[in-house]
Amino acid sequence: MRLGRLASSLALVFPVAFALHESDVGVVDWHKKLVGVPLTSSSTTAPVFHRVGEETTHSVILTATASNVLAAIFPENGTVAWRYIHESGDNIASFYIHKNVVASLSGPGGATLRTFDILNGHLLLEQRIHEPSHGHLYEPSYLGTSVAYAAEGSDLVVLSNGGLVQWLDNLGTVKWSWSSSDPSALVIFSKVVTTTTHVYAIGLSKTPSSYKLHVAVLSAGTGELTQSSDIPSSITAGLNDLMVVRRADEVLVVWLEQGSLKYLTLSPNLQSSPTAVKGSAFKRIVDVGLSEYGQFLAVKDDGSSRIFKLDGSALKSIWEFSASGNKHADPIFSGGRDKKGNPYIAQVRWSHALNQAAVDVYTGHLGKGVMTAYTFPFDTQSHGIITHATLDCVNPSEMTVVSRLAITTSTGAMQLWQQSQHQWTREESLSTIAVAEFVELQEKVDISHIPKERETFGQRLQRQIMEAQDFPQYALKFVKRFATGSYASASSAAVAPDSAGKPYRDAFGFRQVIVVATPYSKVFGIDSSNGEILWSRMFGLGWAAETGGSIRPVKLYVTQTVHDGDSPQVVLVAQRRAENTLIDTVVYHLDASSGENVAPGVVDKDVLEGVDIISGPLVESFILPDHKTVVMLDEFLQVYLYPDTKEATASFTKLAPSLHFPLRVNVDGQRRLVGQQVSLNTELSDRFVAHPTWTLSLPPSEDIQTLLPASHEPIASFGKVLGNRTTLYKYLNPRMFALLTAPKAQPASCTIYLVDSAKGSVLHRTSVPASGGVCDVQMSLVENWFSYYYYDPEFTGVGQSKGHRMVTVELYEGSQVDEKTKSSELSAFSDKLLDVSTFEQAYIFPHGVTALATTSTKFGISTKDLIVATKNHKILSIPRRVLNPRRPNRKVTAEEQEEQLIHYDPLIPDDPRRTLSHNYEVANVRRIVTAPALLESTSLVFAYGLDLFFTRVAPSNTFDVLNENFNKGQLVVTVTGLAVAIMVTRPMVKRKRLRERWYQ
């Protein structure tokens, strides 16, 4: 007995392995490594081809992205060669390439310099140029930053903060430094150029009506200022109308001035005068990536464009592209070089009507210049427009040019085309997912015998009766499948569509559709079994298509499931922001399995057209408990329903008296939380209107940061039986929500509330310290279990734990055990709702946390684990019993052992066996979504942020699935033998009982 108890104690103390086995990697999980949507607004951040060495395979596409990532992509297959993820607040300003090295500036004013090996991404140098707190926050961020390499050697000249120039060697040692003495900062330097003897800092000074060019000349050896001068000029569009063109030590500054193209040859004494290019008026100049090799392009007012080349100390026009015509959008221009250094310039145009893109590539070194033209299919209804293109060319034989074009689209996609052949597409907008939900798929149905319509209930019943007529044959096939294992396995999921062409679920419900929407006007359906995109649709702008605009997803609801007898459907609530500043609320109604538009009265077109709901901004939206009707409120707190039908109105009218929800509103200039209830206002044509019922009292300077409603999931048990046979009854309040508040200016602490939305009653309150004036708090609220993470800057730490804290709170009914108030059934205004017992415990966590979620199962029988995304790019699963706030801080008693309680340890160890993401780098996770499978033991987990990651976990182990090594044949033989034995012995037993009755 004692030995048994010791074994049980050890089993409780040492946690079991809850993570996936290594053999399951890529089988039950998948990972999509993304880099983010490229920053195409500047040539110093936009994608660019760079070839290393003499072979085409030694090339990468370098880009900085909106996700604050500097990345290199292999052009052969579109995979990520390497990426460097910058911290929040250390935003990329610009990057510059020189041979096998890429240098980047990041942070306010370009505070930090880093250099990387282009092929493998190894960090070669990281140097602080100036303190980030002293950096100027220019807009755009690349303003005031530049890097140039010394004319000889590998030294760098760095311009930062709009006026600080430093010469650094390849080890980061500063040889000299020069700072602009302009106290008023009227001159902002934004470009630096080196020659063998001098360094030129080029900037602009603001005048009442325009900008004036300013040049400072520094000695390359000492950094001494030798000359500084304003150049007679009048530049309207700032840096967009300014460019530096060079070839060897010949350097020209080129700018546009009232339609005239002018240039200045830089010399140490700045004695040259500006020269104007004779000819047509120009509307813009374009750096196609060849300015370092003496070429650029200028677009004329009539739409045509000229290629200019630096010839000696003058500019020479060498080619002209004709105007594109009205049927094409404004063209995109790009330049590139082959392995011999020969330059190429391409003009890319696309047609909305023809869904094609046309490319003209100019090759200047072949004869008097050769133009190569080709087209490739470009679906503007799926990818929007082309926003940027970068060119790479090879010259395999005389007078032959083969080009590769990497394009970026307005929907956030990157594509590579080799001539007319599509090579790959990266949907980088998935790094910006705004909303995501799991949607269960329908089961596989063979409807080949039912033309033009779905299988009805009667048809299904008839088919099943016909299949069951030959029962012996059916039973024999079933036994054969069971014994041989030729049926669906729990480690696999079906991927082929059914005969109707739609995806279907596997036997265990592991395969579902993850519907996600992005701010780049696109919605996707992702296959949860492998991460592949099943379908994608681009949002239509409705009336705003004439003026331009964008769609911002706000909420996503599942309004119809497969259990309703039809295809699953989702409703996406979004804000439409037009270019004329008008904001509308629009709803998109989709079939989740195919992406088809199923909104009533809306014809499904190439783009996804929505239904206009509110002529103004959305304040709040939620779905009714029937999961059929979406409720939306405008800025006047008027209620709008979707679908706007009599059935929806009747359902809402019935539920309105019991609906209570909080809203963040402005009260006396402060954001306050006000409880709302809906009532019928006859003065507004019988429209439902929300009105306040309570206001949460907050300190005058405190503002609302986060509002988190409790998740509603199946509840299998309403109580927790303790070791002494008493019971703690769960406090289950469906109206409970969590609230995070903090002072506006540099908060020293943050406050967390658990609040009842019906009366505004505070059920639990705690205060946590802020870190650096920021409330870094993550929260999860499900049933009666509330978990939150925060960082304590004052905590000295234990080992490597620093100040990361994980806190778990459990709420139970009454003030003592065995006290039952039936909280889930109480009226919203019952005083017993405030009769709550709270258990709270804090733990030290080894890492920072970016997102929290709890597992969810179909019937709520399995225990719940806490899924944690950490700042070191891992996904962890922490068992609830490890976070149990009732863990005793003393020796565990026999009764507590029976409850599976373990001794309290303040540190949650960094156990690699709990790492769900294995060796994947799941970066910058913003949210974790969980969903139940058909197996009660299994929960699906989807994490999204910069990367996408999916897996499935079994918190209580797979108690409802036989092991795949289970001897099914032996079980069949045993059951069959028992059945035969029963059949043989039953007559014998009957005869025996009959004889016994005769003797009686």
What local confidence, expressed as pLDDT, does residue 566 receive? 84
pLDDT digits (tens, 9 = 90+) for 820-860: 999 988 888 888 999 999 999 999 999 999 999 999 999 99
Q: DSSP states of 343-360 as a string?
A: EEEEEEEEETTTTEEEEE
How far is 658 from 646, CA to CA, in rounded Å?
Answer: 20
233, 250, 917 from 264: Cα distances, Å: 10, 11, 57
Distance, CA of 615 to chain centre: 29
What local confidence, expressed as pLDDT, does residue 787 receive? 97
pLDDT digits (tens, 9 = 90+) for 566-599: 899 999 999 999 999 999 999 999 999 999 999 9
Q: Above pLDDT 70, what percent of the chain?
A: 89
Q: How confident is the model at residue 395 (pLDDT cuts 50, 70, 90)?
A: confident
pLDDT digits (tens, 9 = 90+) for 429-481: 999 999 999 999 998 765 454 444 556 667 767 766 766 666 676 666 666 66
What are the backbone dihedrals phi and psi of residue 23, each rounded to the nearest 5 degrees, phi first? -70, -15
What local confidence, expressed as pLDDT, does residue 961 receive? 81
Number of H helices, E strands in the chain: 7, 63
Task: State the angle between helix axes of 471-484 and 457-468 in degrees (0 to 180), rounded to the nearest 10.
Answer: 90
* pLDDT mean over 406-411: 96
* pLDDT mean over 255-278: 92
In the beta sheet, which residues pair with residue 80? 73
How far is 940 from 935, CA to CA, in rounded Å?
Answer: 10
Least confident of 283-292, 383-392, 692-701: 692-701
How far is 814 from 336, CA to CA, in rounded Å?
Answer: 73
What local confidence, expressed as pLDDT, does residue 9 receive? 41
User: Which two tokens mark 328?
Assistant: 């094409």
51 versus 669: the higher-pLDDT residue is: 51
274, 303, 403 from 698: Cα distances, Å: 64, 60, 63
How far is 622 from 690, CA to CA, in rounded Å?
Answer: 13
pLDDT digits (tens, 9 = 90+) for 921-954: 999 999 999 999 999 999 999 999 999 999 999 9
Specify the DSSP class assigned to residue 329.
P
What local confidence, expressed as pLDDT, does residue 327 receive? 52
Tell me the one-letter amino acid at 321.
F
H/E element, 470: none
What local confidence, expressed as pLDDT, does residue 7 receive? 40
The length of the chain, given as a count of residues: 1000
What are the backbone dihedrals phi and psi of residue 651, each rounded to the nearest 5 degrees, phi first? -65, -40
How far is 737 from 656, CA to CA, in rounded Å?
Answer: 19
How far is 568 from 558, CA to CA, in rounded Å?
Answer: 8
User: Which two tokens mark 379?
Assistant: 């679906």
Q: Report the half-sphere exposure of 702 (CA within 13 A, side-chain side).
A: 18
What are the backbone dihedrals phi and psi of residue 554, each rounded to the nearest 5 degrees, phi first? -120, -55
What local confidence, expressed as pLDDT, does residue 949 receive? 98
Q: Does residue 877 come out as left (phi exceeding 0), alpha (psi in the -120 to 50 range) or beta?
A: beta
How far is 409 from 37, CA to CA, in rounded Å?
Answer: 9
How far is 976 from 642, CA to CA, in rounded Å?
Answer: 57
55 versus 103: the higher-pLDDT residue is: 103
Contacts of residue 271, defined as CB under 8 A and 6 or more positions apart, other chains included, come to: none
* pLDDT mean over 111-125: 95
Helix (H, G, I), strand (E, B) or coil at 6: helix
H/E element, 718: none
What local confidence, expressed as pLDDT, does residue 341 receive? 85
What local confidence, expressed as pLDDT, does residue 972 receive? 80
* pLDDT mean over 321-340: 80
Give the pairing of strands 164-168 and 174-179.
antiparallel
Helix (H, G, I), strand (E, B) or coil at 653: helix
What local confidence, expressed as pLDDT, does residue 492 receive? 56
Least confident of 203-207, 420-424, 628-632, 967-971: 967-971
How far is 150 from 190, CA to CA, in rounded Å?
Answer: 17
What local confidence, expressed as pLDDT, does residue 876 receive? 96
Under 8 Å between Cβ of 438 and 557:
no
C-alpha distance across the termini of the chain, in Å: 49
What local confidence, expressed as pLDDT, does residue 207 receive? 86
Under 8 Å between Cβ of 725 and 719:
no
The angle subtended at Cα 993 by Cα 987 and Cα 997, nearest 5°, is: 145
Under 8 Å between Cβ of 247 and 265:
no
Q: Which of 877, 782, 900, 798 is nearest to 842 (CA)?
A: 798
- For the four alpha carbons of 3, 9, 10 and 15, in that order, the dihedral sign comes to positive
14 versus 791: the higher-pLDDT residue is: 791
User: Which two tokens mark 422?
Assistant: 């599509």
The top-scoring range by mean pLDDT among 278-282, 303-307, 552-556 is 552-556
Q: Does residue 595 come out as left (phi exceeding 0), alpha (psi in the -120 to 50 range) or beta?
A: left
Under 8 Å between Cβ of 369 and 362:
yes
The pLDDT of residue 636 is above 70 = yes
Give the number of other Cβ atoms within 10 Å of residue 799's Cβ: 10
How far is 735 from 208, CA to CA, in rounded Å?
Answer: 58
pLDDT digits (tens, 9 = 90+) for 475-532: 666 666 665 555 556 665 545 555 456 789 988 999 999 999 999 999 999 999 999 9
How far is 406 from 890, CA to CA, in rounded Å?
Answer: 64
Q: DSSP states of 913-948 as a string?
A: GGBTTTT----S--EEEEEE-SSTT-EEEEEESSSE
Give the pairing of strands 549-560 and 569-578.
antiparallel
Contacts of residue 218, defined as CB under 8 A and 6 or more positions apart, other chains included, come to: 165, 178, 198, 199, 200, 201, 224, 225, 226
How far is 394 from 75, CA to CA, in rounded Å?
Answer: 14
In the beta sheet, which residues pair with residue 177? 166
The top-scoring range by mean pLDDT among 10-24, 169-183, 547-561 is 547-561
Put the strands of the sheet holding 630-634 in their side by side order. 618-623, 630-634, 639-642
How far is 761 from 425, CA to CA, in rounded Å?
Answer: 52
User: Which two tokens mark 693?
Assistant: 């019922």
Under 8 Å between Cβ of 521 and 551:
yes
| Alpha helices (H) along 579-656 | 646-655
pLDDT digits (tens, 9 = 90+) for 208-229: 889 999 999 999 999 999 999 9
Helix (H, G, I), strand (E, B) or coil at 974: helix
What local confidence, expressed as pLDDT, does residue 997 receive? 83
What local confidence, expressed as pLDDT, does residue 192 receive? 96
Under 8 Å between Cβ of 36 and 428:
yes
Q: Which of 871, 878, 848, 850 is nearest to 921 (CA)?
A: 871
User: Which two tokens mark 487?
Assistant: 């049926």
Give the number of other Cβ atoms within 10 Å of residue 61's Cβ: 22
Under 8 Å between Cβ of 31 and 63:
no
What local confidence, expressed as pLDDT, does residue 773 receive? 78
Q: Please state the three-class secondary structure of 532-572 as a single string.
A: CEEEEEEECCHHHHCCCEEEEEEEEEEEECHHHCCCCEEEE
User: Which two tokens mark 260?
Assistant: 């005239």
